[in-house]
Structure 1
Amino acid sequence: MSGVNSYEIDMHTHTINSDGRNTPYEVIDIAAKSGIKILTFTDHSGITHSNDIVGYAKENGISIPFMGLEVSTIFEGNKYHVLGYGKNLRIDDLEDYLLYPTEVKNKRFIKIIEALRDIGIVLPSNEDIRKGIRPDGTFAHPDKWMLTRTLIATYVAQNLNISINEAKGIFSDSDDPKNRRIFIEESLPVHERYLPTTDVISYLAKKGAGVILAHPWWECGRGNTTERVKSDIFTFAELGLHGLECESYHLTQEMNNEIKDIFRQLPHFHRIGGSDFHGDRRSSFGQRGVTWEDYHAFSKVISI
């Protein structure tokens, strides 16, 4: 399926709770205007889901049948994002276990915040920054669990009366920073900042969740190759991976050809897609998603 606003199902979206720009309610509003009928939130390392959110979606003609999340993982030095889906993912230690990559990032961002304070920049408390405190004391996103560079820079910019991009430059990770005043090194090697891909896939599959590899060739050009990804996918399939995200703005025609070959060899695999909506210009609803046929087929593998 192709064309603008041709898909009615989107199973890969993000909100302000992780690294998106919009609240869940705002995402629902945007999705409804785009003709979306089924939506899943897949925030990083956490679950965006409540009776209020589901109810609001229903009022706007949208069903949210599954909880979802996206987990940053690593396999033999290469990064992969794993999507998990279930009617109830709030079981056992699932959320605590899968939050690990975000906790690692948050710890480094807290060190950055502390270093900014040390050079005289006045900032709200760490918790108030995370929740998005406003001048009147209310919070813009009280349920947010992920600190981001843009979020921190927003408060730095307010204190110094500069732009957010200028504020980011003060604690830039760039190899050639012009205005950087502080730099906090990563405390862990890259393979310890993420969960093992194989462990996450096995864990979710054994729990009865639907398990999909998001934008599989996302890291190509940054160390990974299409051939290596293809080989890894067959390894992941043996551990319980149910399918691939086949509709994504990350994919090129070459990658689409590789996907077709994978499905010829793994005919039981499921095709999932989504906008990877973040509220920026990279993606929009309707252009990428899941067909009704593929959605119903994938739903049958989810037992949790």
Structure 2
Amino acid sequence: MTKVDLHAHTNESDGELSPKEFVDQAISCGLKAVAITDHDTIYGCAQAVEYAKDKDIEIIPGIEISCTDKEKGFVEIHVIGLCIDYMDKDFITFCEKVRGERIGQKKRMIEKLQELGFDITFDEVVRIANYSFGRPHVAAILMKKYPDRFPDMKSVFDQYLGNDRPGFIAREFYPTIGEAITLITNAGGVPILAHPGVYDEVRVIELIEYFVSLGGKGIETYYPYDKINRISKEDSDRLNVQFKEYAEKHSLLQSGGSDFHGPKRKPVVLGELDIFYDVLEKIKSKSQA
């Protein structure tokens, strides 16, 4: 089998599995290659690459960077970097900066949740979070302490932790889309616009054009919108076909993946999409890492 998955997460951000467990999972799924694209951190890459050295699988170092261009009106845009040099000093500095920002944000959110009457402390979140603090770590504590009120993660986000909900506080620092692209490119990587189908459908083509004008190389044309965003399979397929046709027309790289976070999280399976190794080969041909 020559299938690959180029969008997935470990517990170095908001996934469930450690990098080693993640590699074992990818092998059990029969994947030829898998990318680790943790949120705003590259710290799972080194562990996975080292662990997989003598195993029959290729680990693609990656990252998923959250960006905001307020002047353009583009908020919470995710840029995937594939085939990056995870030892790049500027990248390490960036990850340290974002980690500090995430810690500060979660402290402020927990204080707000305490004001709303919830029994939750920052120390509890630290005990379950790894290098990159995420809202799912906060949600996990609330689910454990208030199972009747929060039967699943979606219920926590819908009621309190989603954007504009009572317990949400935005991060103060986000790189711009251009800064993320430059960071990835300078580390030898290939910048890809993640899941374009989740953005404003009226402006998504404008977003892609802007992304490409700044040096972006491709877009995700394989993504399980039906499982992640809970739309119909028909609509999910339509979105992927739409972006595939756009990528082909404009000579953009294509990528994608399951957005796997772990067996207990979103209802996706690592490697479930039919993405084959030739997709990765085209991406690797543009990498300088």
TM-score by length of 2: 0.77
Q: Distance in 1 between matches of 2:194 and 2:163?
A: 29
Query: What amino acid does structure 2 have at the position aligned with 1:47?
Result: I
Cα distance change, pair 289–201 in 1 and its aligned pair in 2 (3 A): farther
Cα distance change, pair 165–33 in 1 and its aligned pair in 2 (3 A): same
Offset of residue 97 of structure 1: 2.9
Q: Percent identity?
A: 23
Offset of residue 81 of structure 1: 0.8
Moved over 6 A (4+): 117-120, 174-177
Offset of residue 292 of structure 1: 1.8
Equivalences for 1:2-41 in 2 at 5 Å?
8-41=3-36
2:259 paired residue among 276, 282, 304: 276
1:252 equivalent in structure 2 = 236
Provide Cα deviations, 1:225-280, integer angstroms capped at 9, x if missing partner.
1x42112212221221111111101272332343243234312x211121111112
Offset of residue 214 of structure 1: 0.9
Offset of residue 40 of structure 1: 1.3
Find the residue that maps to 1:111 and give its secondary structure. Answer: helix
Provide Cα deviations, 1:63-98, integer angstroms capped at 9, x if missing partner.
21x321001113422332100123413323223335
Find the residue that maps to 1:244 and give its secondary structure. Answer: strand
1:90 has 2:87 as partner: yes
Offset of residue 147 of structure 1: 3.7
Query: What amino acid does structure 2 have at the position aligned with 1:202?
Result: T
1:230 equivalent in structure 2 = 205
Pick the structure with greater CA Rg.
1
Offset of residue 43 of structure 1: 0.2
Gaps of 5+ in 1: 1-5, 133-140, 178-182
Equivalences for 1:24-173 in 2 at 5 Å?
24-49=19-44, 52-64=47-59, 66-75=60-69, 76-78=72-74, 79-97=76-94, 103-114=100-111, 121=119, 123=121, 126=123, 129-132=125-128, 143-148=130-135, 150-155=136-141, 165=150, 172-173=160-161
Query: What amino acid does structure 1 have at the position aligned with 2:132?
Result: W
Provide Cα deviations, 1:129-177, integer angstroms capped at 9, x if missing partner.
3242xxxxxxxx6x432143x433544666x6755827959x9257999
Offset of residue 12 of structure 1: 0.8
1:37–1:63: 8 Å Cα contact kept in structure 2? yes
Q: Distance in 2 between matches of 1:60 and 1:129?
A: 34
1:240 paired residue among 215, 219, 227: 215
TM-score by length of 1: 0.74
Cα distance change, pair 294–163 in 1 and its aligned pair in 2 (3 A): same
Find the residue that maps to 1:35 and give its secondary structure. Answer: coil
Gaps of 5+ in 2: 226-234
Offset of residue 283 of structure 1: 1.5
Question: More helix by proportion, 1 or 2?
Answer: 2
Q: Distance in 1 between matches of 2:101 and 2:125?
A: 17
Q: Distance in 2 between matches of 1:204 and 1:175?
A: 27
1:300 equivalent in structure 2 = 285
Query: What amino acid does structure 1 have at the position aligned with 2:283?
Result: F
2:190–2:287: 8 Å Cα contact kept in structure 1? yes
Find the residue that maps to 2:7 and give its secondary structure. Answer: strand
2:46–2:86: 8 Å Cα contact kept in structure 1? no
1:13–1:275: 8 Å Cα contact kept in structure 2? yes
Cα distance change, pair 103–14 in 1 and its aligned pair in 2 (3 A): same
Query: What amino acid does structure 1 have at the position aligned with 2:94?
Result: Y
Offset of residue 185 of structure 1: 5.9
Q: What CA RMSD, in Å, does the superposition of the two structures yield over aligned residues?
A: 3.4
1:32–1:61: 8 Å Cα contact kept in structure 2? yes
1:180 equivalent in structure 2 = none
1:137 equivalent in structure 2 = none
Provide Cα deviations, 1:20-58, integer angstroms capped at 9, x if missing partner.
122222222221111012111100000134554324334
Find the residue that maps to 2:52 and give its secondary structure. Answer: helix
Cα distance change, pair 130–58 in 1 and its aligned pair in 2 (3 A): same
Q: How many residues align?
A: 270
2:229 equivalent in structure 1 = none
2:66–2:77: 8 Å Cα contact kept in structure 1? yes
